[in-house]
A and B are shown apart, each in its own frame.
Chain A
Amino acid sequence: GEDVEQSLFLSVREGDSSVINCTYTDSSSTYLYWYKQEPGAGLQLLTYIFSNMDMKQDQRLTVLLNKKDKHLSLRIADTQTGDSAIYFCAEFRGRSGTYKYIFGTGTRLKVLA
């Protein structure tokens, strides 16, 4: 099927690390993305990882990719209240004239002060 799965909710305390998990279905996906949606705002690109990489770090964000298990995770170090948002993972499918993102349901991160 097309499903990209994420847990719906995550709650952490300010200063702790957050880990948001995602499983996807298409082993041929070339890129995997993380987007953030703050209340009332659009989708903001956070980071992405190419499928031949295992890990990518960008300041407080660390993306881990396990291709064998089709598992993607986003770790946010030193989580702040401003990180409260919905986080979407997405796999890019580009073949046979079709180019689109398959999104997960989104994980709502709540950061407690």
Chain B
Amino acid sequence: EAGVTQFPSHSVIEKGQTVTLRCDPISGHDNLYWYRRVMGKEIKFLLHFVKESKQDESGMPNNRFLAERTGGTYSTLKVQPAELEDSGVYFCASSHRTDTDTQYFGPGTRLTVL
């Protein structure tokens, strides 16, 4: 069974540009989560999809971040326009059920904003 995959693995962009990160969850997992780790700090929750619906987006930093999950399969996270403080590692995770299931994480996308 394939795990959670993320693309790209690394992205280097300039301040003001747009970047789109992609996450493919484990097949059959309805729940998809985005987290990020900024500058060696803790990994922080961004948002949670159940199928194509946003269940909880309380961790999204501001309106420069837009997450979508059309069709309830893969998800994209767009940052527009990117700022220096957006640099970090963005992790995606998926789980089968919601309340008790373990979340399985992808390898992350390292974003560097110059």
Within the complex, what minimum Cβ distance (angstroms) separates B46 from chain A?
A: 9
- In the complex, identify which listed stretch (B13-21, B51-59, B69-77, B78-86) lies at the interface while the others stay far away: B51-59
Known: A42-B91, A42-B108, A43-B91. A101 touches B103 (CB 8 A): yes
Query: Are B99's CB and A41's CB within 8 A?
Result: no
Give the chain B neighbours of A103 by CB distance below 8 A: 35, 42-44
Known: A42-B108, A99-B31. A31 touches B100 (CB 8 A): yes
Give the chain B neighbours of A98 by CB distance below 8 A: 48, 55-56, 58
- Nearest to B55 among chain A residues (CB) is A97
Known: A88-B43, A99-B99, A102-B45. A43 touches B59 (CB 8 A): no
Q: How large is the interface on B (under 10, 10 to 19, 20 to 34, 35 or more residues)?
A: 20 to 34
- Verify if B106 is at the interface (C-beta below 8 Å from A): yes
- Nearest to B44 among chain A residues (CB) is A103
Interface residues in A73-113 by Cβ distance below 8 A to B read 88, 90, 94, 97-106
Bound Cα distance from A103 to B44, whole angstroms: 7
Query: Are A4's CB and B105's CB within 8 A?
Result: no
Give the chain B neighbours of A99 by CB distance below 8 A: 31, 48, 55-56, 98-99
Give the chain B neighbours of A53 by CB distance below 8 A: none
Query: Are A42's CB and B107's CB within 8 A?
Result: yes
Give the chain B neighbours of A101 by CB distance below 8 A: 35, 43, 45, 103
Within the complex, what minimum Cβ distance (angstroms) separates B99 from chain A?
A: 5
Q: Chain A interface (Cβ within 8 Å of chain B)?
A: 4, 30-31, 33, 35, 41-45, 48, 88, 90, 94, 97-106
Could you give 10 example pairs across A and B, Cβ below 8 Å? A33-B102, A43-B91, A43-B108, A48-B102, A98-B48, A98-B56, A99-B31, A99-B56, A99-B98, A105-B40
